[in-house]
A and B are shown apart, each in its own frame.
Chain A
């Protein structure tokens, strides 16, 4: 069996699946149930000066009958007394010594950081996570993403934490920035042992059309919240991969953002994460989802021959390049399998209205399989994306006789590009 043991910045857990700092990791009783279900670690819901929350707090983005493909919240950090939290952290660590308990923190002054770090470590924290990401409520008080958006402040507070901590310090980054690199580098410059990303994305989940109030609604008002859930995964994957491949960045990464199943987890790990954090999927379906996450990852690694998690970490990073390095002479065209085609013509309408007008209904009306004009097909994939039948449309490489040539080579005068297709 593959070894799923995870070591993220020195924080060890029996598997890479951690609860993210969020409602599912709000209390000791919850986290113990999560560990019983199989979770490898948990990042305790952010500790700080206890706050008071509003009602309501959450909103869902529903699409064509699927509920909450995206999710947002206007909830703040813990609203429970610090003493209670520390007591429970101690209990959890005593009963679950092999599971990782990371304590998320968010306070303002240097003294407060010193105090809360000491108390967290005394309670038994295996690691700390600095919440520099929360994009609502706390940032208006100068914390959360207000810190994460300022590399100098990020670096300064990280350095305080590292100074006071005897356990690894992860810096949780906000995606509400134009470029994630300076923020990752700031955490590194401050001495952080790792980064976790992404926190939630500033968002408005929707508007109630009957009363014209944003959701989630608090009496007659609402506010922007933090967006998460399956829909944010592509944004998170990009930011994780950007840091993972950056030459000057060399901290371990705990990947977060829309991890809903083991496949998502493999993607995060393949793009450089050594652990993954999950919140929304647990909020929607419970701790039990981890059983399939662990099994799926295990089966995948076994089938593909990855003996241990580290072998998988960053496996897809070498494929992440600049646009200018892509081979402009590589050519694919769509092929439709007439056996499995059902004649829905979704490829026809998509190609005509959204791509390059190269897939046509058959002239012979008795044949419902569309025809691809390969001389016009630019190999964009749109037809394959809309086709409801698995493996019916494949994008097949064409041997066009042209040598590899990238845009950069073309600009440098060392590469010769094939004639453009579909550009009339």
Chain B
């Protein structure tokens, strides 16, 4: 089961951008927390961790209790502590912001407690008494893992199918390495699996083998947590040149293997979302001297987090705004530049503005397409444009079929996937035990 990753992975050059607290720092920060009632930080957390409570427990030296409080709401609390955009979630809503005082460093405190829990090998949860019910989960990312763990606490038998050879989903293959490296994600999954009774089949793409129909026959409920699938491309001339990659593909390669980047010095990242920002910062980190983000909108309009983009700028990344790629330019089969045109305020190309951004590597970060083949043609499952339609408990229109994570929310954070997986597990449990109405009432 355990995946052994190579030591010389390209991501290994990155340092943590938010260094871990030591005990003194954590206690001092914990003591600053006001211990609000109905705290806004809890409301801002998609998994609704009882943040003031876990922080108070750090302040008294009850780190074990603190970690338990975190994991009770968010079983992936260790990775979320590292990868959550806390500035726009819990920390952003800390009441200290209202006082113009520095908000509590909730992410770093959560990392402190959960890291110690891992280091000490604390286990907080046991599988429930067997119910005889079986649930299949498709995809081994945060949504499925969160659902699987909760289902095991209820005593249901759980099987996960993952098409990759590595487990953890984007937590393993897609998180910016200055936040968390792949081996840490795998460690977390293994810790989660220690509840026992979660069967995982890697290298199994559902829809190919087994089929959804087979799963529905063998299991009492099915959860889809398959994420978004491969990078979208622009469909431009030169797309098949060496050195033109989807950003998510590139990040995955960087995180899982060594990269030969000899002689490469210029990278262009196309897009303006968080994947694009991750990609530019990662390109800088692995050694590209000149990194440009080409975005068709304005700097202020980009959907990526401003605090992340600001960090990228400080690392030397340039932004090319209102810039639309129209062709990849190559030489000897390898990309050497991106031909672009400037756009006006209505996103119309401006005549005479064609130019070439030199590039040894082009990363396309304009979103991922949906992995929907497995779900297509399932009666009752509906799509809402980009995503699978689910109710607030993760149920699709087909009885016994649930979904969560990027597939259902259209691409949010890890913490959203964890919350949706957990809540879907609660709903699946009610469905399996025939108590659904009581919970909805």
Residues of A whose CB lies within 8 Å of any CB of B are 64-65, 342-346, 348-349, 361, 368, 388-389
CB-nearest residue of chain B to A345: B37
Tell whether, in the assembled complex, residue B36 and residue A344 are in contact, meaning their CB atoms are under 8 Å apart: yes
A343-B95, A348-B38, A349-B37 given; 15 more Cβ-contact pairs under 8 Å: A64-B59, A65-B31, A65-B59, A342-B95, A342-B96, A343-B36, A343-B40, A345-B37, A345-B38, A346-B34, A346-B35, A346-B36, A348-B37, A368-B40, A388-B99
Chain A residues with Cβ under 8 A from B440's Cβ? Answer: none
Cα(A64)–Cα(B39), bound, Å: 20
Question: Could you write out 16 A-B pairs with CB less than 8 Å apart?
Answer: A64-B31, A64-B59, A65-B27, A65-B59, A342-B95, A342-B96, A343-B95, A344-B36, A344-B37, A345-B36, A345-B37, A346-B34, A346-B35, A346-B37, A348-B37, A361-B38
Cα(A344)–Cα(B104), bound, Å: 13
Cα(A27)–Cα(B99), bound, Å: 48
CB-nearest residue of chain A to B99: A342
Across the A-B interface, give the 8 residue pairs with the lowest CB-CB distance, nearest first: A65-B31, A342-B98, A345-B37, A349-B37, A344-B36, A342-B95, A344-B95, A64-B31
CB-nearest residue of chain A to B59: A64
Chain A residues with Cβ under 8 A from B96's Cβ? Answer: 342
B33-74 with Cβ < 8 A to chain A: 34-40, 59
- A53 CB to closest chain B CB, in angstroms? 31
Chain A residues with Cβ under 8 A from B34's Cβ? Answer: 344, 346, 388
CB-nearest residue of chain A to B30: A65
**How many A-B residue pairs lie within 8 Å, measured between CB atoms?**
35
Tell whether, in the assembled complex, residue B39 and residue A344 are in contact, meaning their CB atoms are under 8 Å apart: yes
With A64-B59, A368-B40: A343-B98 Cβ-Cβ less than 8 Å: yes
Cα(A361)–Cα(B37), bound, Å: 10
Chain B residues with Cβ under 8 A from A348's Cβ? Answer: 37-38
CB-nearest residue of chain A to B24: A65
Cα(A356)–Cα(B39), bound, Å: 22
- B91 CB to closest chain A CB, in angstroms? 15
Chain A residues with Cβ under 8 A from B35's Cβ? Answer: 346
B258 at interface (Cβ–Cβ under 8 A)?
A: no
B28 at interface (Cβ–Cβ under 8 A)?
A: yes
- B377 CB to closest chain A CB, in angstroms? 42
Chain A residues with Cβ under 8 A from B40's Cβ? Answer: 343, 368
Chain A residues with Cβ under 8 A from B95's Cβ? Answer: 342-344
Tell whether, in the assembled complex, residue A389 and residue B37 are in contact, meaning their CB atoms are under 8 Å apart: no
Chain A residues with Cβ under 8 A from B27's Cβ? Answer: 65
Cα(A344)–Cα(B97), bound, Å: 11
Residues of B whose CB lies within 8 Å of any CB of A are 27-28, 31, 34-40, 59, 95-96, 98-99
- A115 CB to closest chain B CB, in angstroms? 52
CB-nearest residue of chain A to B100: A342
- A403 CB to closest chain B CB, in angstroms? 39
Chain A residues with Cβ under 8 A from B31's Cβ? Answer: 64-65
CB-nearest residue of chain B to A63: B31
Cα(A344)–Cα(B41), bound, Å: 10
Chain A residues with Cβ under 8 A from B28's Cβ? Answer: 65
Chain B residues with Cβ under 8 A from A368's Cβ? Answer: 40
Chain B residues with Cβ under 8 A from A64's Cβ? Answer: 31, 59
Chain A residues with Cβ under 8 A from B38's Cβ? Answer: 345, 348, 361
Chain A residues with Cβ under 8 A from B99's Cβ? Answer: 342, 388-389
Cα(A349)–Cα(B35), bound, Å: 10
Chain A residues with Cβ under 8 A from B37's Cβ? Answer: 344-346, 348-349
Chain A residues with Cβ under 8 A from B36's Cβ? Answer: 343-346
- A386 CB to closest chain B CB, in angstroms? 9
- B98 CB to closest chain A CB, in angstroms? 4
- B102 CB to closest chain A CB, in angstroms? 14
Chain A residues with Cβ under 8 A from B39's Cβ? Answer: 344-345
- B101 CB to closest chain A CB, in angstroms? 9
Chain B residues with Cβ under 8 A from A345's Cβ? Answer: 36-39
Cα(A388)–Cα(B36), bound, Å: 10
Chain A residues with Cβ under 8 A from B59's Cβ? Answer: 64-65
- A353 CB to closest chain B CB, in angstroms? 10
CB-nearest residue of chain B to A353: B37
Which residue, of B31, B38, B96, has the highest number of chain A Cβ atoms within 10 A?
B38
- A64 CB to closest chain B CB, in angstroms? 5
- B29 CB to closest chain A CB, in angstroms? 9
- A371 CB to closest chain B CB, in angstroms? 14
CB-nearest residue of chain A to B31: A65
Chain A residues with Cβ under 8 A from B98's Cβ? Answer: 342-343
- B335 CB to closest chain A CB, in angstroms? 51
Cα(A289)–Cα(B36), bound, Å: 35
CB-nearest residue of chain A to B56: A64
- A173 CB to closest chain B CB, in angstroms? 36
CB-nearest residue of chain A to B43: A365
- A117 CB to closest chain B CB, in angstroms? 50
CB-nearest residue of chain A to B28: A65
- A47 CB to closest chain B CB, in angstroms? 42
- B26 CB to closest chain A CB, in angstroms? 11
CB-nearest residue of chain A to B35: A346
Chain B residues with Cβ under 8 A from A361's Cβ? Answer: 38
- B65 CB to closest chain A CB, in angstroms? 16
Which residue, of A343, A368, A389, has the highest number of chain B Cβ atoms within 10 A?
A343
Cα(A345)–Cα(B98), bound, Å: 13
- B205 CB to closest chain A CB, in angstroms? 45
CB-nearest residue of chain B to A64: B31
CB-nearest residue of chain B to A343: B95
- A167 CB to closest chain B CB, in angstroms? 48
Cα(A361)–Cα(B28), bound, Å: 29
CB-nearest residue of chain A to B52: A344
- B34 CB to closest chain A CB, in angstroms? 5
- B345 CB to closest chain A CB, in angstroms? 34
Cα(A368)–Cα(B31), bound, Å: 23
- A220 CB to closest chain B CB, in angstroms? 24
- B22 CB to closest chain A CB, in angstroms? 14
Cα(A348)–Cα(B36), bound, Å: 10
Cα(A296)–Cα(B194), bound, Å: 62
Cα(A361)–Cα(B39), bound, Å: 12
CB-nearest residue of chain A to B61: A209
Cα(A342)–Cα(B34), bound, Å: 11
Cα(A74)–Cα(B429), bound, Å: 62
CB-nearest residue of chain B to A209: B61
Chain B residues with Cβ under 8 A from A389's Cβ? Answer: 99
Cα(A361)–Cα(B35), bound, Å: 16
- A217 CB to closest chain B CB, in angstroms? 20
- B202 CB to closest chain A CB, in angstroms? 45
Cα(A389)–Cα(B100), bound, Å: 11
Cα(A389)–Cα(B98), bound, Å: 10
Cα(A346)–Cα(B35), bound, Å: 8
Cα(A163)–Cα(B27), bound, Å: 57
Cα(A348)–Cα(B96), bound, Å: 18
Cα(A48)–Cα(B347), bound, Å: 93
- B174 CB to closest chain A CB, in angstroms? 35
Cα(A349)–Cα(B34), bound, Å: 12
- A163 CB to closest chain B CB, in angstroms? 55
Cα(A64)–Cα(B60), bound, Å: 8
- A369 CB to closest chain B CB, in angstroms? 11
Which residue, of B31, B35, B36, B37, has the highest number of chain A Cβ atoms within 10 A?
B37
